[in-house]
C-alpha cells in the first residue's frame, strides 16, 4: 500500500510542469511561463520551450507580474568598521575603502617570432610530403 501511494505521489510530482513565472493579465487571466522579460516596450513570455509570445505593456498587470524586490541594507565591512573605530572622535572616516590591487597578476604570453605571409606559403620547388610521394609513385609506374 505504501509503495503504491509513494509511486503515485512521485508520478504526480514528476508530471507537473516546472514553471518559474506567472504573468498576470489585466483582464484577470494568469499565464504560467518558463520565463518573462521586458524589452522594447513589450513583455515577452516564454510559455513553453517552443512558444514565445509578446504582449503590450497595457495588457499586463506589471505590478503583480514584476514585483519589486527588496533591497538588502548595506552591510558594514570589517575594513570600514576598523577604520571607524580607529578614527579619532570628531573625524568622520571615509565611506568608501580605497581600492587595493588583489596582487594577482596574469601570466604573460611568450612572444612569437613574426613571420611574413610569403614565408608561410610552401615553396614550389620540392613541394610537400604528399606531392613528393605522388611524384615518386609516378616515376615508379613510368619505369
**Cβ-proximal residues to 58 (8 Å cutoff; 6+ apart), any chain:** 26
| Predicted local distance difference test score (pLDDT) of residue 27 | 92
| Predicted local distance difference test score (pLDDT) of residue 131 | 82
| Predicted local distance difference test score (pLDDT) of residue 76 | 57
> pLDDT truncated to tens, each residue of the chain (143 aa)?
778 877 777 766 655 555 578 899 999 999 999 999 988 889 999 988 888 989 999 999 988 888 887 665 555 565 666 665 665 555 554 555 555 566 777 788 888 777 776 666 656 555 678 888 888 899 999 87
Q: Side-chain half-sphere of 108: how many Cα atoms within 13 Å?
A: 3
| Predicted local distance difference test score (pLDDT) of residue 92 | 52
> What is the spatial distance between Cα 43 and Cα 31, in angstroms, rounded to a whole number?
13
Query: Exposed, middle or buried: residue 21 (CB in 10 Å: 0-12, 13-18, 19+)?
Result: middle
CATH second-level architecture of 18-65?
Roll (2.30)
Amino acid at each position: 500500500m505504501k509503495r503504491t501511494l509513494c509511486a503515485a505521489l512521485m508520478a504526480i510530482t514528476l508530471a507537473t510542469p516546472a514553471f518559474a513565472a506567472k504573468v498576470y493579465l489585466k483582464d484577470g487571466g494568469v499565464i504560467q511561463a518558463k520565463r518573462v522579460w521586458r524589452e522594447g516596450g513589450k513583455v515577452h513570455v516564454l510559455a513553453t520551450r517552443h512558444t514565445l509570445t509578446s504582449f503590450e505593456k497595457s495588457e499586463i498587470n506589471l505590478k503583480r507580474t514584476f514585483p519589486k524586490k527588496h533591497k538588502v541594507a548595506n552591510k558594514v565591512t570589517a575594513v570600514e568598521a576598523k577604520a571607524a573605530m580607529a578614527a579619532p572622535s570628531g573625524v568622520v572616516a571615509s565611506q568608501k575603502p580605497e581600492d587595493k590591487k588583489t596582487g594577482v597578476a596574469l601570466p604573460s604570453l611568450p612572444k612569437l617570432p613574426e613571420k611574413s605571409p610569403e614565408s608561410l606559403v610552401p615553396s614550389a620547388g620540392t613541394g610537400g610530403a604528399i606531392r613528393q610521394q605522388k611524384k615518386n609513385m609516378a616515376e615508379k609506374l613510368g619505369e
